[in-house]
Structure 1
Amino acid sequence: MPDLSILATPAPYHILTYGTLMGSTFFQSFVNGIIAYQALPKPMFSQLQQKIFPVYFTMQTALPAVLALTYPGSLGGSSSISGVLEKSNKWGVLVPLATMFVTGLANVAYIGPETTRIMRERKVQGMCSIPFLYYVYGN
């Protein structure tokens, strides 16, 4: 029978979380976004992105937190949050994880919704200006 004791440590979950974060970022940035932009008309692409980005940014916020919780620690060092907060891990672990968390949180809480609001506002302005132009300038 295989030894499953490794599943009681944070290490496999840390690796899976890191792979999920990196894979989803790569796929959204270099595969999904590009193919959708090329294959869909602009209005449909916009609708797709409005649905995908909140989920994507939520993952970009949550997964760095999970990475911090599952940090396995370096040789002889602490694991989990205490390992992340060790002075020796400040620049190599804490700052990158905090940066990912803060930028993901900014995207999900403010930048994404504000961008969507502005896009909708401009779409309405564009739709309203066309009849006005016909009225002013004729056919």
Structure 2
Amino acid sequence: MIERPTTAWREGIEEERRELASGTLDPDCACIAELFPDSLLVATDSVLDSFEAELALLQDVSDERVFDAVQRVVLALNAVNDEHNGGAYETDEREQLCHHIDESLTERGIDVVALASRHGLERYQLTDRWRDW
């Protein structure tokens, strides 16, 4: 299983805590824990748990079923973003989440490039139709 974006976000929080504790980071410059509150991390992991479980159980990997799964994960992430005042996922986080979706599909054996191409999309446009973040 590929590493989730939330893992890297948590590692950033821990690194920031260590730097604050050691005095190597000015408290006025600390922002990672504020950017990634526990409620955001837990909610994002819950959405990704559901998505990964759905992919694991996916018997029919038809384009329609794959797009249904992508739509569900994106709409759920939209809800998490909305719950966090619409600013939970900035550019880096959006890219990490889209990459995670892509890699999760690839791990499941889905040829993402071919899937996207069959629908007139580029690989990294799979989420665009539903994504608000």
Give the TM interval when normalised to the shorter protein.
0.3 to 0.5
Higher helix proportion: 1
Higher Cα Rg: structure 1 or 2? 1
| Greater RCO (CA < 8 Å, at least 6 residues apart) | 2
